Structure 1
Amino acid sequence: MKMKESTVNQIVSLAAMALIALPVGIACIILGYGLGDTPCILCWQERTAMVLVALIAIFITRYGLKPKYLGALIFASVYGLWAGYRHSSNHILKDIGQGFGPAILGVHTYVWVMVVFLVILLFAAVLLMLQGDKLSEKEDKNSWTMLNKSTVMVFLVVIGFNIVQAFSQTGPFPFIGQSDPYRMTFDNDKIVWSTANWPKLSSLSARGSFAIERPDFANMAVVEGSEIVTDLSLTSVRTQALPAEIIGLATGISYSPNSDIYAVVTSDNWVHFLKGDLSEVLASVMIDGAFSVEISNLTGVVFDGDNSVVVTADHKSYVRLEYDPLAKIADSYWKFMDGTDGVKELKRSRFSTVRAKYNYIGGLGWDAATQEYVTITLPAKVRNNFVVSRFSNQDFELNSEAKILNAADTYPMVTGLAIEQNKAYLLSQSAEQILVMSTSTNNIEAAYGFSGVANAQGLTLVKGEFAVLNGVKGQNSVTFFH
């Protein structure tokens, strides 16, 4: 049964009054004038969207439920929903209880914004469904009920308060307010009008802070000045070519002394287990990167047990695997795209960081003394960082993070990591060095130069020697140094 036009008018009028009086009115009059809360530049976007939706609803009550008004209402609501999401994304993943500005019923206002606009869109959808096959025509466009007049009066009063707040606290164009606003005041000596948050053309990007180029391990960026001055150098003992089955770009290597086996990963998601003399591949699997946790561009592997390894991607997603001659690939068809028997998956998830959140990594280490996985950040132009992160092998959560004390002018490209006792050995691909870092102080204490490796991509310790992985598609090899 089709809803009467008069009923639609009353419902829309009540909805407009509720929207302008509750979220907009409370934010402006109670939080603003009452508690001194001044909106930030993102809050003003959200509030503006709500005002537009309320104004469109008033037009509907005056001129009828026309398609152009419905389209405008949906457009403004989608914009408001995006603004709420944009605002919430800065804060919603903080620790419990943390947020920005005051909270209502334990939820901060920028989260309520998303709830409000979702309710508006659901309200519009239900209203349309109740219209049947044709929108209601306005019965008498000259009729204006007391409810309609009350809605307009509430709208004008709330808008008046907002205008005073906006022009006094934010200022006229070109001033746009602050990202971290000051307390609301009418003291001219304390009011601050700012243009500091206008975006610069040089910093515009569709991905914002995430506009960081993923590493290409076949063509690593040249980092001038990342070498540490030293007279120490390593001597090449021998070079061993990897089996022909490993055709992709090898990006990580690890050795298990108890089992006398190696693990090698490639950038195209292959994981290989090899004999201790590197002459034969024992088992191989190609990880399905689109299944469950996305994982691609493998960069590190480390034995955390005699036969178990953790494999990580450059974006810190990881897979824990075990070499088991009895395992059948047919039993894990949804986890591996291709491969042989002999490998089973134990766990798949992501390492989460704080200081290293906006950096990719080039390798993975295992500290047996502390039972922790260790990563080192790769430098980036917009998020230049040199951070060591440690993760528990109990729950795979972050244990600690710290800035690495570095003697070089710029940060090196660390593509391999091996840890023994209280020393961490960092493979600097950009400077052809192995840096020695104290695991207790995170201070670079020494550096060893090496040569003869075209693309150093992995590092492991084998019977007192450094095994450096040379990643070249179709010609991967390992060079041993002492």
Structure 2
Amino acid sequence: MNKEIRFYNLFSLAILGILIFPVGLANFYFGYVLKDSPCIFCWALRINMILIGAVALLVVRFGFKPKYIALLLLMAGSGLYEGFYYTGSHALEDVGQGFALPILGLHTQFWALFVFFSVVVFLAVLLFFAPNTQLFKNYSLNTLQKSAFYIFFIVVGSNAVQAFISTGPLPYIGQSNPVRFSWNLKESVWSMENWNRLFPRSVLGIRDVGEPLKLSTLPKDNDYERSPLEITKALKIGKKEELFLKLNGAITDLSFNEDRAILTTENQGLYLVGNDLKTIHSHMVLDSYYSATVGSFVGADFNEDENIVIMGNNKTSVEITPNKNANALKNFPYFLEGANSFDEVERSRLKTSRAKNYYVSAARRGAKFTYLISAPNKRYKDLIIISMLNSDKQVHGEFLLELGNAKLKEKRKLGELVISALALKDNKLYAFSKEFNTLLVIDPTKEEILEVYGLPKEIKNISAGGFRDNELILVSYENHKNILYTLNF
């Protein structure tokens, strides 16, 4: 057997492989025996496999031509895209969850990815060992090569029968949740409901939420009288002063701890300062894109080990420890500035469920839990509070805040608020909204609002806040300056 015949025999075996196993098995055994009906995505993937087989038959019949190889790569690329799109909807489900029948413990959408990936790899191997042959040479087919054609038409014909019975002729198309296969047409469901969803309007789909909130951005309305909540009590400003510390951006969090305080900025800066906010003791600027990406800082606190845990707006945290003798060269990957003053301990990603399509705008660490609050975006507007167990950095709970003692105005929603600062005192959360200058006092155990206060509209842009002993300190980023407000509380 010469190299040319061997090459086309291998192509024929590849055709038989893709037709008998993924396409034929799904059709004859899963479809007719197990009564499994493909969903609209499964049909798209199966059709792509059939098209790959059809183009491969052209190679066997008419010879090795560049345009056939180009078509194979296009079909494989299309299948990989469809497979990733489909798998992305189910890949992060819990163990045992998924869609359609599992094969060796994995659901069919994963195996579609495997098939199309195998097509690309197998094609590369075949081309690597392809003989130098005339591109347009005609020759007679042997038995193996003819069998690829026979199997192709049998499998495609059977798939056409199954498609007609379970899906129907145009304009009917596949269903998202197909009923089990039946030879009785009365039990089949022919539907057109997926036409409106056939062409996605966004490449990112449900994750198209826009850019995360910048805490330095001025609110649309900072008048608490137009808050979505009815407010009968308001706080007053006791003192106003400009913060003259040399920082690299707008302050996004303020946390007091005995004789020290932590300031974070929108540009990944962290500053250890005196309790009076007059002196910088040390600072660092994180290289956010090293390892797990850490979003703009929205919260920072000391933990029980006297390390500092910083939360990014993408729910990724980094733990660092102050060290006057830090090795700057060793710490080069972690810090853009301050590599000689801090060591990085670890980075952690918090995976959520209800809040997975939200960034967070504020975070505060308590003795047992760290609390995060979702930031509304262009697609989702719920106000969600997330509690993370500090011991393992995993989600402890996610809840939609109950009104409790608060009252919504008619046709208004709690999600209109944008919480830009969060404080924790006496087991109560104090959530400050830059929109409508509204303060919510929250019981995180009961998951409800205890009290609501208005904040003076002279505070133009709340970006951080915290308690210094019994003083309430708010930071407002105004005219490119960090302004401190002490409020009577």
TM interval, short-chain normalised: over 0.9
- Superposed displacement of residue 361, structure 1: 0.7
- Superposed displacement of residue 423, structure 1: 1.4
In structure 2, the CA distance between the partners of 1:3 and 1:403, relative to structure 1 (3 Å rule), is farther
What residue number does 1:49 align with?
Answer: 48
Mapped pair 1:356 → 2:361: no
Q: Cα deviation per residue 1:283-339 (whole Å; 9 max; x = unaligned)?
A: 111100121111232222233348432212211122122334444545412111123
Q: Cα deviation per residue 1:216-235 (whole Å; 9 max; x = unaligned)?
A: 22225637965321211112
Q: Which stretch of structure 1 is more off in the superposition, 23-32 or 171-180?
A: 171-180
Mapped pair 1:465 → 2:465: no
Q: Which stretch of structure 1 is more off in the superposition, 11-20 or 305-314?
A: 305-314
In structure 2, the CA distance between the partners of 1:43 and 1:222, relative to structure 1 (3 Å rule), is farther
- Superposed displacement of residue 61, structure 1: 1.0
Mapped pair 1:417 → 2:422: yes
The one-letter code of the counterpart of 1:254 is S
What residue number does 1:367 align with?
Answer: 366
Mapped pair 1:210 → 2:207: yes
| Aligned partner (choices 222, 235, 240) of residue 220 of structure 2 | 222
Q: Equivalent residues in 2 for 1:66-85 (5 A)? A: 66-85=65-84
What residue number does 1:388 align with?
Answer: 385
Where in structure 1 are there 5+ consecutive unaligned residues? none
Structure 1 SS opposite 2:187: coil
- Say if 1:251 and 1:471, in contact at 8 Å, map to a contact too: no
Q: Which stretch of structure 1 is more off in the superposition, 119-128 or 184-193?
A: 184-193
Mapped pair 1:430 → 2:435: yes
What residue number does 1:454 align with?
Answer: 460
- Say if 1:243 and 1:281, in contact at 8 Å, map to a contact too: no
The one-letter code of the counterpart of 1:159 is V
Structure 2 SS opposite 1:92: coil
Q: Cα deviation per residue 1:239-276 (whole Å; 9 max; x = unaligned)?
A: 3432331141111111112xx21111111111111101
In structure 2, the CA distance between the partners of 1:194 and 1:216, relative to structure 1 (3 Å rule), is farther
Q: Cα deviation per residue 1:379-428 (whole Å; 9 max; x = unaligned)?
A: 22312222111112222111111111144432110111112233111111
What residue number does 1:445 align with?
Answer: 450
Matched positions, count: 475
CA distance in 2, matches of 1:198, 1:473: 50
- Say if 1:256 and 1:306, in contact at 8 Å, map to a contact too: no
What residue number does 2:331 align with?
Answer: 332
Q: Equivalent residues in 2 for 1:80-479 (5 A)? A: 80-131=79-130, 134-135=132-133, 137=135, 140-141=138-139, 143-199=140-196, 204-213=201-210, 214-219=212-217, 222=220, 226-257=227-258, 260-305=259-304, 307-327=306-326, 329-339=328-338, 341-368=340-367, 371-406=368-403, 407-408=407-408, 409-410=412-413, 411=415, 412-451=417-456, 452-472=458-478, 474-479=480-485
- Superposed displacement of residue 432, structure 1: 0.5
Q: Cα deviation per residue 1:415-456 (whole Å; 9 max; x = unaligned)?
A: 111122331111111121210111111111211111132110
The one-letter code of the counterpart of 2:163 is A
CA distance in 1, matches of 2:271, 2:33: 65
In structure 2, the CA distance between the partners of 1:331 and 1:49, relative to structure 1 (3 Å rule), is same
Q: Which stretch of structure 1 is more off in the superposition, 335-344 or 290-299?
A: 335-344
Q: Which stretch of structure 1 is more off in the superposition, 351-360 or 29-38?
A: 29-38
- Superposed displacement of residue 460, structure 1: 1.4
- Superposed displacement of residue 374, structure 1: 1.0
In structure 2, the CA distance between the partners of 1:192 and 1:399, relative to structure 1 (3 Å rule), is same
Q: Which stretch of structure 1 is more off in the superposition, 265-274 or 237-246?
A: 237-246
- Superposed displacement of residue 346, structure 1: 2.1
- Superposed displacement of residue 193, structure 1: 2.2
Structure 1 SS opposite 2:264: strand
Structure 2 SS opposite 1:246: coil
TM, length-normalised to structure 1? 0.92
What residue number does 1:33 align with?
Answer: 32
In structure 2, the CA distance between the partners of 1:324 and 1:226, relative to structure 1 (3 Å rule), is farther
CA distance in 1, matches of 2:204, 2:38: 25
Structure 2 SS opposite 1:166: helix
Q: Which stretch of structure 1 is more off in the superposition, 46-55 or 409-418?
A: 409-418
- Superposed displacement of residue 352, structure 1: 1.3
CA distance in 2, matches of 1:395, 1:361: 20
The one-letter code of the counterpart of 1:434 is L
CA distance in 2, matches of 1:317, 1:135: 56
In structure 2, the CA distance between the partners of 1:203 and 1:35, relative to structure 1 (3 Å rule), is closer
CA distance in 2, matches of 1:111, 1:175: 26
The one-letter code of the counterpart of 2:438 is Q
- Superposed displacement of residue 12, structure 1: 0.9
TM, length-normalised to structure 2? 0.91
In structure 2, the CA distance between the partners of 1:223 and 1:155, relative to structure 1 (3 Å rule), is farther
CA distance in 2, matches of 1:240, 1:3: 88
- Say if 1:263 and 1:272, in contact at 8 Å, map to a contact too: yes
- Say if 2:252 and 2:464, in contact at 8 Å, map to a contact too: yes
Q: Which stretch of structure 1 is more off in the superposition, 197-206 or 326-335?
A: 197-206
Q: Cα deviation per residue 1:23-69 (whole Å; 9 max; x = unaligned)?
A: 00111111112112111111111111100111111111111111111
- Superposed displacement of residue 203, structure 1: 6.7
CA distance in 2, matches of 1:340, 1:480: 34
- Say if 1:3 and 1:131, in contact at 8 Å, map to a contact too: no
The one-letter code of the counterpart of 1:454 is K
In structure 2, the CA distance between the partners of 1:307 and 1:469, relative to structure 1 (3 Å rule), is farther
Structure 2 SS opposite 1:253: strand
CA RMSD of aligned residues (A): 2.3
